[in-house]
């Protein structure tokens, strides 16, 4: 890939392994939406942007400083996904899944946002997850203007730690309100250090995350993969359990895809859901 600076946009030329629709709609994130012109708009770490693709080039709004400080990292652009794809083609099923999912990139999301988002995601569908998160940000985040539109930052743990379940009634998130507040208080109180967990072993980090109310294996593994960017995490929902049982049997070990089990998971998940 080649990086080219334009007026108000950065072009990533030769972005073969960067499909916007697959990346934003594969279930890993909830705050990017596409407009009528095919531009995906979203916000991370308090900075909003528009992202569009023309041919083999991806264009990200902003300056080179924005790109170097936020978007290069966020879109995991220094990782060779072509090499990983070839490594994961271990059988005919994976060859099909990888071919179908080519272009998915694992986003390096804010750790707290990922934790809170996947607590909200449990026993929920994507439209409702997005609605709850949008309301959470509108109610408690900071207003940010971008190209004449209102965006809102994700509220910090400190903000939500001072809330009670009554404050979260506008979210209509039910029992999850207690889990959100508990997680925020665990972080502000020092019981959970997400930055430290990202440097820990995957098993130890999972164990610590599961100490939080409302965090079981599936939510913990989503946080490990999408928030802490531990690429060997392998979240399993109903779709994934069926897929691996069907293709690899009851004793399936995601270690067969190590050290990129999480990327394999995204290819499989996208393939069985839409392919």
Give pLDDT tens digits for 134-193: 999 999 999 999 999 999 999 999 999 999 999 999 999 999 999 999 999 999 999 999
Residues 67 and 122 in one domain: no
Residues 126 and 201 in one domain: yes
Cβ(110)–Cβ(156) below 8 Å: no
- Tokens, residue 115: 């934790």
pTM, entire model: 0.95
Domain that holds residue 132: 111-227
**Which percentage of the chain shows pLDDT scores above 70?**
100
- Tokens, residue 170: 């506008």
Which residue's entry shows tokens 């109180």? 189
The predicted model gives 251-259 an average pLDDT of 96
Closest CA to 61 of 74, 75, 46, 48: 48
Residue 4's pLDDT band (cuts 50, 70, 90): very high
- Tokens, residue 136: 């959470």
Residues 131 and 214 in one domain: yes
Residues 205 and 115 in one domain: yes
Catalytic entry in 8, 83, 111, 218:
218
Residue 25 annotated as catalytic? no
CATH number, domain of 48, equals 3.30.310.260
Q: What is the pLDDT of residue 50?
A: 98
Residues 66 and 135 in one domain: no
Residues 115 and 204 in one domain: yes
When divided into structural domains, the chain yields a total of 2
CATH number, domain of 211, equals 1.10.340.30
pLDDT at 221 over 90: yes
Residues 132 and 48 in one domain: no
Does residue 241 fall inside a structural domain? no
Phi-psi region of 50 (alpha: psi -120 to 50; beta: other; left: phi over 0): beta
């Amino acid at each position: 890939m080649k990086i080219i600076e334009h007026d108000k946009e950065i072009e990533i030329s030769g972005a073969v392994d960067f499909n916007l629709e697959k990346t934003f709609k594969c279930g890993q994130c909830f705050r990017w939406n596409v407009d009528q012109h095919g531009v995906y708009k979203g916000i991370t770490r308090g900075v909003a942007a528009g992202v569009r693709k023309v041919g083999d080039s991806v264009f990200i709004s902003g300056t080179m400083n924005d790109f170097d400080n936020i978007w290069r990292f966020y879109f995991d652009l220094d990782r060779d996904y072509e090499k990983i794809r070839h490594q994961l083609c271990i059988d005919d099923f994976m060859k099909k899944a990888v071919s179908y999912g080519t272009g998915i990139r694992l986003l390096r999301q804010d750790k707290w946002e990922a934790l809170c988002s996947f607590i909200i995601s449990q026993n929920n569908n994507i439209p409702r997850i997005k609605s709850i998160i949008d309301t959470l940000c509108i109610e408690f985040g900071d207003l940010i203007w971008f190209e004449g539109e209102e965006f809102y930052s994700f509220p910090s743990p400190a903000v939500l730690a001072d809330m009670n379940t009554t404050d979260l009634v506008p979210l209509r998130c039910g029992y999850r309100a207690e889990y959100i507040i508990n997680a925020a208080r665990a972080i502000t109180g020092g019981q959970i250090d997400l930055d430290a967990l990202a440097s820990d072993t995957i098993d130890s980090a999972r164990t610590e995350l599961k100490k939080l109310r409302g965090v079981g294996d599936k939510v913990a593994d989503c946080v490990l993969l999408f928030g802490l960017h531990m690429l060997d995490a392998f979240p399993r929902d109903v779709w994934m359990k069926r897929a691996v049982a069907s293709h690899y049997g009851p004793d399936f070990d995601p270690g067969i895809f190590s050290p990129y089990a999480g990327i394999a998971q995204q290819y499989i998940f996208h393939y069985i859901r839409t392919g």
